[in-house]
Amino acid sequence: MTLEQRVRVGAHEIAVRQDGAPDGEPLLLLMGLGLQLIAWPQGLVDRWVAAGFRVILLDHRDIGRSSPLDHLPTPPLAWAGLRQALGRPLPSPYTLADLADDAVGVLDALGVPQAQVLGISMGGMVAQHLAWRHPGRVRALHLWMTSSGARHLPLPAPRLRWMILRRPRHRDQALAHITALYQALAGPAYPTPVDVIRARVEASAERAWRPQAHVRQMMAIAHDGDRSRWLRELPQRCSAPISIVHGSADPLLPLPHGQHLANLLPAARLTVIEGWGHDLPAALWPRLAATVPRA
């Protein structure tokens, strides 16, 4: 069964989709920067459904079919980068903690007291906040290709930094640019055909086109900074088992990001996949799905 709806969470409406039987074990999926719930490949979701999960996907506020927040300021990225480099406070229209609270609000609206929580990239950062702020709602925590935000960790590859900061003016140019960016995120062992990437990008743009929200989410990540201090204390606050999955060839958040998380969370299970980048290629769906067992 697949059900898509919008639920009220505070001042916002959050778009939610549920796949699987209503009595399945809840698995909450949190997507990364600027990406909608449809960025989770259906083939991967279907594997969890077949394993008995009730999969819950959402569009973060300001993204996809959730409430748009275009009335909020969108500071120039160059200005934000300069402030960050100088160590100055970086204002943000909303925070990653706000997105974590939204996700818990979705669970409340659906009547789900506890779920396994899986976050990817920025979604993994949101998942960290969710486990810290609402530890009783987390049955297990899964952190894929994400980071603690520590400043000593390696930056993205130079070409990727340029691509992320570039803002094409026209929609057609933007779609071509996003397609090229997603190609660059793939690891050498698991490339995705360009026509598959292009189709996903076009489907996302057709569903909702919010390029300005991408910038606001980048501001939220920069504003959040280093979570290391309280991540060290997370196991004492949240008793749920934790798994970390990272690719050896991740060009956006290189492998030391995942290793640093594992050092902060020594009880966590770290899985390193050789040749994997920063995407969800079909060849890895069986292996990735298996890292999330039923509780």
pLDDT digits (tens, 9 = 90+) for 42-99: 999 999 999 999 999 999 999 999 999 988 777 666 555 555 554 556 778 899 999 9
Predicted structure pTM score: 0.95
The pLDDT of residue 279 is: 98
CA-wise closest residue to 127 among 115, 114, 118, 140: 118
The pLDDT of residue 77 is: 62
Dihedral, 246, 249, 254, 260 alpha carbons, nearest 10: 40
- 211-230 burial, b at 16+ Cβ within 10 Å, e below that, comes to eebbbbbbbbbbbbeebbee
CA–CA distance, 31 with 59 (Å, rounded to integer): 8
Query: Taking all residues of the chain, what is their mean pLDDT, rounded to a whole number?
Result: 93
Phi/psi class of residue 64: alpha, beta or left (left: φ > 0; alpha: ψ in -120 to 50)?
Answer: left
What does the pLDDT look like over 196-209, one tens digit per residue? 999 999 999 999 99
Cβ-proximal residues to 219 (8 Å cutoff; 6+ apart), any chain? 75, 80, 90, 91, 92, 93
Rounded to whole angstroms, the maximal C-alpha distance in the chain is 51
CA-wise closest residue to 4 among 41, 44, 38, 51: 38
CA–CA distance, 17 with 40 (Å, rounded to integer): 11
All structural domains of the chain = 2-290 (3.40.50.1820)
The pLDDT of residue 200 is: 96
The pLDDT of residue 83 is: 55
The pLDDT of residue 124 is: 98
The pLDDT of residue 91 is: 74
The parts of the chain modelled with pLDDT lower than 50 are: 86
Instruction: Provide the strand spans (E) within the chain.
Output: 2-9, 12-19, 25-30, 53-58, 115-120, 138-144, 242-247, 269-273
Cβ(31)–Cβ(40) below 8 Å? yes
φ, ψ for residue 87, nearest 5 deg: 75, 20
CA–CA distance, 166 with 183 (Å, rounded to integer): 16
Q: Tokens 């987390």 map to which residue?
A: 138
**Which secondary structure element, helix H or strand E, spans residue 214, and what is its range?**
helix 211-224
What is the gyration radius of the CA atoms in the chain, in angstroms? 18
CA–CA distance, 216 with 33 (Å, rounded to integer): 10
Pairing of the two strands 138-144 and 242-247: parallel
The pLDDT of residue 158 is: 87
CA–CA distance, 286 with 93 (Å, rounded to integer): 38
SS3 state at 276: coil
Q: In what order do the strands lie in the sheet with 2-9?
A: 2-9, 12-19, 53-58, 25-30, 115-120, 138-144, 242-247, 269-273
